[in-house]
Amino acid sequence: RSGAYDYLAVPVAAARLMTSLHDGLANRQAFRAVRSLSQELAQSNERLAEERNALKHWNRTLLALNHLTQVLTGSLDSEIIVRSLFTGLATLVPLDIIGFACAEPHRVMTWSRSSAWTCREMQVREWLLRHFPEDAKLRASSRQPLDLVGAGALSREDCAPLSSFPAIGDDRHAMTIPLPISPDTQGVLHLERREGTFTEAEFKILSTVGTSLAMALRNASAHQMIQEVALRDSMTGLLNRRALEEVLAREFKGGFRYSSSACLLLVDLDYFKAINDQLGHLAGDQVLRSTAALMRRAVRDIDVVGRYGGEEFGIVLPHTDLDRALVLAERLRREIESQEFEADQGIVRITASFGIAHIPAVTIRSVSEWIAAADSALYGAKALGRNRVVVHVPDQAVSVAGTTLTLAAP
Q: Which pLDDT tens digit goes with each residue over 160-201? A: 444 444 443 345 688 888 888 877 677 889 999 888 888 888
Same domain for 375 and 303? yes
| Together in a domain, 258 and 401 | yes
- CA torsion angle 74 77 83 84 (round to 10): 0
268 and 383 inside one domain: yes
Q: What is the mean pLDDT of residues 39-59?
A: 82
- pLDDT of the residue at 173: 80
Residues 272 and 400 in one domain: yes
The CA-based angle 255-260-262, given to 5 degrees, is 75
How high does pLDDT run on average in the chain? Answer: 81
Indicate whether 7 belongs to any domain.
no
Q: Has residue 149 got a pLDDT over 50? A: no
Banded pLDDT at 258 (limits 50, 70, 90): confident
- Which has the minimum average pLDDT: 144-153, 171-180, 226-235? 144-153
Residues 333 and 398 both lie in one domain:
yes
pLDDT band at 114 (very low <50, low <70, confident <90, very high): confident
Which range of residues forms the domain containing residue 250?
Answer: 241-405
Residue with the bigger pLDDT between 394 and 342: it is: 342
Structural domain includes residue 1: no
Q: Which pLDDT belongs to residue 298?
A: 94
Q: How many domains does the chain have?
A: 3
For a pLDDT cut of 90, what percent of the chain falls above it?
A: 33
Last-in-domain residue among 230, 249, 267: 230
Percentage of residues of the chain with pLDDT beyond 70: 82
d(CA 382, CA 375): 11
Does a structural domain hold residue 2? no
Lowest mean pLDDT segment, chosen from 18-32, 64-78, 392-406: 392-406
- What is the spatial distance between Cα 296 and Cα 59, in angstroms, rounded to a whole number? 54
pLDDT over 80 (residue 1): no
Between 169 and 380, residue with greater pLDDT: 380
Q: Are 131 and 152 in a shared domain? A: yes
Residue 331 pLDDT grade (very low, low, confident, very high; cuts 50, 70, 90): very high
Domain assignment present for 4: no
Mean pLDDT of 97-107: 84
CATH of residue 215's domain is 3.30.450
Among 204, 230, 256, the domain boundary falls at: 230
Residues 175 and 35 in one domain: no
- Predicted confidence (pLDDT) at residue 19 exceeds the cutoff of 70: yes
Average pLDDT over residues 237-243: 92
Closest among 148, 156, 165, 153 to 197, alpha carbons compared: 156
Is residue 368 situated within a structural domain? yes
pLDDT band at 224 (very low <50, low <70, confident <90, very high): confident
Q: Does 395 have pLDDT greater than 60?
A: no
pLDDT band at 154 (very low <50, low <70, confident <90, very high): very low
How far apart CA 31 and CA 381 sit, in angstroms, is: 112
- Digit-coded pLDDT (tens) for 269-304: 999 999 998 889 999 999 999 999 999 999 998 899
Which residue type, as a one-letter code, is found at position 337?
A: E
What's this model's pTM, rounded to 2 decimal places? 0.55
| Greatest CA separation for the chain | 149
What is the structure's pLDDT at 405? 44
CATH number at residue 254: 3.30.70.270
Distance, CA of 7 to CA of 10 (rounded, Å): 5
Same domain, 348 and 245: yes
Confidence of residue 25 (pLDDT cuts 50, 70, 90): confident
* Mean pLDDT of the 34-47 span: 85
CB 154 within 8 A of CB 147: no
Q: How much is the pLDDT for 409? A: 38
Asked if 221 and 76 touch (Cβ cutoff 8 Å), the reply is no
- What gap in Å lies between CA 55 and CA 53, rounded to an integer? 5
Classified as helix, coil or strand, 48 is helix
Residues 290 and 393 in one domain: yes
Asked if residue 88 has pLDDT above 50, the reply is: yes
Both 135 and 202 in one domain: the answer is: yes
Residue 105 resides in a domain: yes
State how far the Cα of 251 lies from the Cα of 256, in Å rounded to an integer: 8
Residues contacting residue 118 through CB under 8 Å, at least 6 positions apart = 112
Asked whether 404 and 397 are in contact (CB, 8 A), the reply is yes
What's the pLDDT at 387?
A: 96
Last residue of a domain, one of 37, 52, 68: 68
Q: Cβ distance 248 to 316 under 8 Å?
A: yes
Residue 325 lies in a domain: yes
Domain annotation covers residue 80: yes
Q: Which amino acid would we find at residue 193? A: R
Spatial distance between the Cα atoms of 198 and 175, rounded to a whole number of angstroms: 8
pLDDT exceeds cutoff 50 at 139 = no
Which residues, in sequence order, are CB contacts of 217 under 8 Å at separation 6+? Answer: 78, 81, 102, 179, 181, 187
Cα 390 → chain centroid: 41
Same domain for 224 and 79? yes
275 in the same domain as 338: yes
